[in-house]
Structure 1
């Protein structure tokens, strides 16, 4: 007996991967490079010597490579679903999934790198006692994006009509 064609659906996982990657790109490009508030290991190895700056730049590149992989995986999932002809486009779900992924990036990266490991903090150009406030703002921004993404995705299933 032939199988029925799958019902068109929106690939939420692709949007989440896009959000994870975009969150990492924002952090790396804006906070590491443009504003130069921190580097990947700048709390452990402040970039005050050439060797420490080279080490931080290397780890910034490794970090950017990982965020690039998230975007490529998201693109692959989106392409695969579209190529099979079972993609239902939804701007609301895409935005919701991207916000969810971006917020997850901020929250997980903020908790692990800023709070647990302490490899860097959001804004290391301000006085050290103020670092925690920047870190908490980063976490709050992440939680707000998770909430906004979940709100956009709420009450919907990936296979339902938007």
Structure 2
């Protein structure tokens, strides 16, 4: 990607991917599947007080990824307003997927392994292999797939 607009658009797409990856994690794994909450390895969600603590932490997490997504949308809007052409859709989607992978990798390393706040599967029991698969597929895999998708269109438009 050449030019400041394309660099800004790439950064915007990565931010949107980070935010959307956080929403997928929170909605799919926290709320729908109920595999874990933000603090479920530290505060097992047994009883209303523990659930309240976990739901509050999940809410703060969602607020954070909402602000990251908003920052990405505003950055994309700013890049678009500059008058220079934005990169092709495929490139933008590739950078979003790379952002999602980066989110999974960073969040997985920090929350699952370093701070041990939660794991991919805490309820009813922790399944360690899922943490490693999450890092490999959802982290490294998404990051590389997004990068490859973005680069496959880099010579166009």
Fold match (TM-score > 0.5): yes
Query: How high is the TM-score relative to the length of structure 1?
Result: 0.87
Q: How far off is 1:88 after superposition?
A: 2.0
- List per-residue Cα deviations over 1:6-39 (Å, max 9, x = no partner): 7763610011011101110000000000000000
- Secondary structure of 2:6 counterpart: coil
Give the helix-richer structure, 1 or 2.
Answer: 2
Contact map agreement 2:38 2:54 (CA 8 A) in 1: yes
* Alignment partner, residue 146 of structure 1: 143
- List per-residue Cα deviations over 1:55-113 (Å, max 9, x = no partner): 11000000001110111011101111111212324112111101110000100000000
* Alignment partner, residue 3 of structure 1: none
Distance 1:9 1:75, change over 3 A: same
* Alignment partner, residue 129 of structure 2: 133
Counterpart pick for 1:9 among 6, 9, 29: 6
Considering only aligned residues, what root-mean-square deviation do their CA atoms show, in Å? 1.9
Please, which runs of 5 or more residues in structure 2 have no aligned partner? none
Tell me which structure has the larger Cα radius of gyration: 1
- Give the number of equivalent residue pairs: 153
Alignment of 1:1-162 (within 5 A): 9=6, 11-125=9-123, 127-128=125-126, 131-141=127-137, 142-154=139-151, 161-162=156-157
- Secondary structure of 2:107 counterpart: helix
- Cα separation, 2, equivalents of 1:8 and 1:55: 42
Query: After the TM superposition, which of the residue ranges 148-157 and 33-42 deviates more from structure 2?
Result: 148-157
Distance 1:85 1:47, change over 3 A: same
- Secondary structure of 1:42 counterpart: coil
- Cα separation, 2, equivalents of 1:91 and 1:75: 15
